[in-house]
Chain A
Amino acid sequence: MRPFSYHRPTDLAQAAALLESGDDVAALAGGHTLLPAIKSRLRAPDGLVDLSAIPGLAGIREDGDRLLVGAMTRHADVATSPQVAAHCRALARLAGGIGDPQVRNRGTLGGSIANNDPAADYPAAVLGLAATVHTSQRRIEADDFFQGMFTTALEPGELVTAVAFPRPLAAGYGRFAHPASRYALVGVFVARFAAGVRVAVTGAGAGVFRWMAAENCLSGSFDLGSVAGLVPDEADMNGDIHASAPYRAHLCSVMLGRALADCAASS
């Protein structure tokens, strides 16, 4: 790989200063997107700021009626946490389906959402569950955090510190995984709250998005029948060698059904 500098700060202020010390200094969490990107020369940072030595960024705890998951918490820890399972089983199951066991032993929640890959799983849960992203500077609602392909509301030097997940009445996730990469060709996360139903879709479009038509139907009647025949607009879908736009639109409907079945199974 092309040479870069490496830093391992022990607090957020140091990390922020290091991140702003050069034109292209990248934060390193689990590294399971960043390092492959560097290896394949999609990224060529001048420096890396390893967040692993900053205390307090990993761990899971209750915060009032919300579950607070630290940014450096690994997928494996979310997947196997009894606290996560009790709060939202679909979230634990989603984390347990990311990549493979070795990836889950390194990849982190904060890394995933800060990268905002349009086919990543976690953005669907964070947006679907109306979670709040805690950063080194402020709190950002999920609706404002995700801003399209590989783009978020994070400012330069701003780091995700945790995500606060509300407790849904029911939640489910349906994913059609790419058979090689295990990324979502389409993933649909459904969460039911007293105030209504939220439906977040990953993999299908330019970035994670809320499927408002499905939300409106399900908020009226929370069953499969209410969304029968509902298909998103093909114009909003990705089309590539893996799946055409019409096929992805079709998969949205099918994965919505699976997410609803998952809701029923977990409640």
Chain B
Amino acid sequence: MQLNMNLNGEAVTVEVAPEQLLVELLRDDLGLTGTHIGCDTSQCGACNVLLDGEPVKACTLLAVQVEGRALTTIEGLAQGGALHPMQAAFRACHGLQCGFCTPGMVMAGIGIVARHGHDLDEATIVHGLEGNLCRCTGYRNIIKAVAEGARAMAGD
């Protein structure tokens, strides 16, 4: 089937099979390997991407389901070589250890800001990260990073 979407700001048309998962299309066909596959069972959030600006799990969408929609992957966040404020906050706060969960955490963080604004308390962040697992147990700094990233996004 033919799939038309806006991917990281560019119109893209690709051929996909009906049973192809979005994460498979991104990683295997389009080479966008920043979107990770962790659990592959809709729980860990490593595959989070932004669909029309909202985080969703790319392992639990068929590629064909994003027909006509706008998709942003971790590769599409930085603008002109400058990290997105949420990415910069994860770097500044050392919001990662191995980094595997980080792309999904960044996307979830952006979603939390979209829903709750720029001044986030810890409980809001923790509840908002319920669908993201970090197996290095680096949550303390991840929470700090989302709070800092949220503040920085106010200055966008």
Contact = CB atoms under 8 A, between A and B. Distances in A.
Interface of A: 1-6, 8, 28, 31-32, 35-36, 39-40, 48, 50, 52, 76, 80, 99-103, 105-106, 180-182
A5 B18 contact: yes
Contact of B60 (A5, A36, A180): A36
B128 A101 contact: yes
A6 B130 contact: no
Interface in B23-62: 40-43, 45, 48, 51, 54-57, 60-62
B78 interface: no
B130 A182 contact: yes
A1 B45 contact: no
Interface residues of B, number: 30
B111 interface: yes
Contacts of A180: 43
B55 A101 contact: yes
B42 A32 contact: yes
Nearest to B52: A105
Interface in B52-104: 54-57, 60-62, 64-65, 67
A106 B108 contact: no
A210 to B, nearest CB: 30
A101 B115 contact: yes
B61 A31 contact: yes
Contact of B62 (A6, A80, A181): A6
Closest 8 CB pairs of A and B: A100-B131, A6-B18, A1-B19, A100-B130, A102-B131, A105-B54, A102-B57, A102-B55
B152 interface: no
A226 B17 CA distance: 58
12 contacts: A4-B18, A6-B18, A36-B42, A50-B65, A76-B54, A101-B112, A101-B131, A102-B57, A102-B131, A103-B42, A105-B111, A106-B56
Nearest to A99: B131
Given A1-B19, A106-B56, A106-B61, A36 B41 contact: yes
A36 B44 CA distance: 13
A181 B60 contact: no
Max chain A CB contacts within 10 Å: which of B18, B40, B41, B112? Answer: B18
B20 to A, nearest CB: 8
B46 to A, nearest CB: 11
B1 to A, nearest CB: 7
B21 interface: yes
A40 B41 contact: yes
A48 B40 contact: no
Max chain B CB contacts within 10 Å: which of A100, A181, A182? Answer: A100
Contacts of B18: 3-6, 48
Given A39-B40, A48-B18, A100 B60 contact: no
Max chain A CB contacts within 10 Å: which of B55, B62, B67? Answer: B62
Max chain B CB contacts within 10 Å: which of A52, A76, A106? Answer: A106
Contacts of B45: 100, 102
Contacts of B67: 8
A242 B133 CA distance: 20
Contact of A31 (B43, B65, B128): B65
Nearest to B48: A102
